[in-house]
Amino acid sequence: MPPLQRVDLPERLLRHLLTRIRERAISVTDLTQLAAWLDSNPIVPADRWFKRFPGMIVCGEGQLIKTFLKPTQIPVGEEQSG
């Protein structure tokens, strides 16, 4: 299980994530909660995973966050707790 990659993200992925933040109106509060979770150095599965927050769902694959979903959307993968 790899740790999440937080630096040197591929440029295309970073642009995608920023677009999803804008399109899905993800709040500063949600991003602050994401930052706190990232600061805990979570270990995630090598395959698809997701983490629920009150205003969004973070979806990833391996050590990369791949997208953000609205709470009403259906994620794919192993749900992460904590």
Count of domains observed in the chain: 1
Domain ranges, residue 70? 11-75
> Where on the phi/psi map is residue 62: left (φ > 0), alpha (ψ -120 to 50), or beta?
left
Whether residue 30 is contained in a domain is answered as yes
pLDDT band at 2 (very low <50, low <70, confident <90, very high): low
Whether residue 3 is contained in a domain is answered as no
For 16-33, what is each residue's pLDDT tens digit?
Answer: 999 999 999 999 999 999
pLDDT for 61? 96
pLDDT at 60 exceeding the cut of 80: yes
Whether residue 2 is contained in a domain is answered as no
Percent of the chain past pLDDT 70, that is, above it, reads 98
DSSP labels for 40-77?
A: T--B--SSEEEEEETTEEEEEETTEEEEEE-TTSPP-S
pLDDT for 56? 97
- Strand 56-61 with 64-69, pairing: antiparallel
